[in-house]
Amino acid sequence: MQIELRGITKRFGAVAAVSDVDLTIRPGEVLALLGENGAGKSTLMNVLSGLYRPDEGSILLDGKAVQFAGAGDAIRAGIGMVHQHFMLVPVFTVAENVVLGVEPTAALDRLDLDAARRQVRSISARYGLDVDPDATIEGMPVGLQQRVEILKVLFRAAEAIVFDEPTAVLTPQEVTEFFAIVRELRDAGKAIVFITHKLQEVLAVADRISVLRAGRVVGTCDPKTATAAELARLMVGRPVRFAVDRPPLERGAPILEVEDLQVADERGERAVGGVTFSVHAGECVGIAGIHGNGQSELVEALTGMRRAVSGRIRLQGRDITHASARDCHRLGIAHVPEDRLRSGIIGTFDLGENVALNTYYEPRHASGIRLRWGEVYRSTARLIRDYDVRARSPLNPIGQLSGGNQQKLVIGRELSRDVALIVASQPTRGVDVGSIEYIHERFMEARSRGRGLIVVSTELDEILGLADRILVMFRGRVAGEFQDGAADIGNIGLAMAGAGA
Ligand code: ADP
Ligand code: MG
């Protein structure tokens, strides 16, 4: 089935998330939809899959105009979407999930289920999915759950399948397996749309690439001839340097020493189960792993936001195991939090107020209990300049800035203090490629000045680019440790899946 999108525009209030997009999706072809965060990729595909109605434009299937009133219509027309967040019922089996599926219509009766089990088996065999219809979702590796989602759309006879950032949750090995499945589907004549912001993946699997920027298609390329640099320039609108310069390691005295640290999560379960490592001056330690393997709790314990159950944390020889967040901050730990909007900034406050949030007790910004607002705004203006924050004035609410610019201000605020250790959690999530480059350079600058750095990221490329040493976390433990240079992506991937040495 050939799909044509013609002049599609979708607005949210005054903002056009997608503007006048033309796109052809062909059977037997993998079309990559490449774009930065917020470019409009998901919105465009949600229009195609019937979740949103376009404000303007039309959808043609094999030349015939169609209108979808909802996801059900699109599915009946043969268009299936595998979303970023899976929609599976954990306590159900694969077959039960497949029957329930996208439309909440079919009641689970025996006949349906037996037929479904047979069909799951045959679809699974045909496309090399290797999924057992009677397995329960709960406890399944994420890569396998994704294949169940694929089964769900194939079960509904999808001719076109849209994958929204499918590799974000996968280990490198799972990504390879996923690509093999995508190729099977393509070779069977399905039309595939693969949404991503990762250049290398696009070059590996796509037959054609359309680049989206600010809601518009800014280019369509052939992966056989396109280069990563060209694609990045299209995505960002200017040239981008990829590898950040990392001068040779000059490892100084230990800054942070963590000994057999155990940390519990909200439910009181052990999220970090005995982790030991150290960070030295001038060294960047990367913490890799699939999201949810204890990294967040580890960072919270290191920055005083969560109490350690046992073990010890020392900062420059001083025991800070049970120090408060404020004390950690004062003693010289800068924290770039995972969730800016929860613990980094307040959206309705202006830029200066957000800078003051974390520095209000420093002598440069306060005398006694009085805040020196003049100084606060002067240093905010400096941060805006030094960290290339695209904002008109320190008096604008920070919520009006793009995610990348908010993050640059938070990083500027944290790095402008005189700290010993920087703990950055997912520092470039939701940040555009151009700003990522900038943020990485600032980290390397801090490293050169002898600060210790911890960068926690689920983006392996980011870790490989920055870290002198890589720790891979799996189920609350360090499942692998790799020195820079000896960091082999295959072995890191195995450790991420808990299968490391
Ligand atoms: P992408 O998938 O490329 O990251 P999205 O399609 O999610 O981008 O978003 C495109 C733009 O539309 C962004 O500016 C985003 O904030 C906005 N947007 C997306 N969904 C909604 C929504 N439901 N309501 C308001 N704005 C939205
Ligand atoms: Mg998206």
| Whether pLDDT at 103 is above 50 | no
Residue in 105, 98, 55, 92 with CA at minimum distance from that of residue 80? 98
Ligand 1 atom showing the smallest separation from residue 212 Cα = 3
- Taking the mean position of all CA atoms in its chain, how far away is CA 462? 11
Ligand 1 atom showing the smallest separation from residue 165 Cα = 2
Among protein residues, the one with the nearest Cα to ligand 1's atom 13 is 38
Q: What is the per-residue pLDDT for 108?
A: 56
Q: 361-398: per-residue pLDDT in tens? A: 777 888 777 888 888 899 899 889 888 888 888 998 98
Cα of 257 vs centre of ligand 2, distance in Å, is 38
Q: Which of 21, 37, 43 to mutate to test the pocket of ligand 1 (most atoms within 8 A of CB)?
A: 43
Count the neighbouring beta carbons within 10 Å of the beta carbon of residue 118.
12
Of the ligands numbered here, which is closest to the C-alpha atom of 211?
1
Q: How confident is the model at residue 333 (pLDDT cuts 50, 70, 90)?
A: very high
Tell which CATH classification among 3.90.470.20, 3.40.30.10, 3.30.300.30, 3.40.50.300 matches the domain 254-496. 3.40.50.300
Among protein residues, the one with the nearest Cα to ligand 1's atom 24 is 12
Cα of 302 vs centre of ligand 2, distance in Å, is 31
Cα of 110 vs centre of ligand 2, distance in Å, is 37
Q: 147-167: per-residue pLDDT in tens? A: 999 999 999 999 999 999 898
Q: Which of 9, 12, 164, 195 to mutate to test the pocket of ligand 1 (most atoms within 8 A of CB)?
A: 12
Q: What is the per-residue pLDDT for 101?
A: 57
Cα of 40 vs centre of ligand 1, distance in Å, is 6
Q: What percent of the chain has pLDDT over 90?
A: 59
Mean pLDDT value of segment 340-344: 72
Count the neighbouring beta carbons within 10 Å of the beta carbon of residue 488.
10
Mean pLDDT value of segment 323-349: 87
Q: How confident is the model at residue 110 (pLDDT cuts 50, 70, 90)?
A: low
Cα of 162 vs centre of ligand 1, distance in Å, is 17
| Whether pLDDT at 104 is above 80 | no
Q: How confident is the model at residue 351 (pLDDT cuts 50, 70, 90)?
A: very high
CA triplet 493, 495, 497: central angle to 5 degrees?
Answer: 75
Of the ligands numbered here, which is closest to the C-alpha atom of 35?
1
| Whether pLDDT at 314 is above 80 | yes
| Whether pLDDT at 294 is above 60 | yes
Asked, colleague to colleague, whether 3-236 and 254-496 share their fold, the answer is yes
Cα of 152 vs centre of ligand 2, distance in Å, is 21
Lining residues, ligand 1, CB within 6 Å? 12, 17, 35, 37-43
Cα of 217 vs centre of ligand 1, distance in Å, is 15
Q: What is the per-residue pLDDT for 367?
A: 79
Ligand 1 atom showing the smallest separation from residue 40 Cα = 6
Among protein residues, the one with the nearest Cα to ligand 1's atom 5 is 40
CB environment 93-117: b (16+ within 10 A), e (fewer): bbbbbbbbbbeeeeeeeeebbeebb
Ligand 1 atom showing the smallest separation from residue 164 Cα = 2
Cα of 164 vs centre of ligand 2, distance in Å, is 7
Residue 147 has which token pair?
Answer: 């294949």
Q: What is the per-residue pLDDT for 390?
A: 83
Cα of 21 vs centre of ligand 1, distance in Å, is 15
Domain boundaries, the chain: 3-236, 254-496
Ligand 1 atom showing the smallest separation from residue 43 Cα = 6
Q: Tell me the C-alpha distance between 308 and 273, whole Å.
A: 11
| Whether pLDDT at 116 is above 90 | no
Class level of CATH domain 3-236:
alpha beta
Q: Spell out which residues have Cβ within 5 A of ligand 2, the ion.
A: 42
Predicted structure pTM score: 0.74
Of the ligands numbered here, which is closest to the C-alpha atom of 84?
2
Q: What is the per-residue pLDDT for 386?
A: 83
Contact 10, 18 (CB under 8 A): yes
Ligand 1 atom showing the smallest separation from residue 13 Cα = 25
Q: What is the per-residue pLDDT for 109?
A: 60
- DSSP structure class, residue 247: P
Q: How far is CA 311 from CA 224, 276, 280, in A?
A: 53, 9, 19
Ligand 1 atom showing the smallest separation from residue 35 Cα = 3
Q: What is the per-residue pLDDT for 62?
A: 96
Contact 302, 251 (CB under 8 A): no
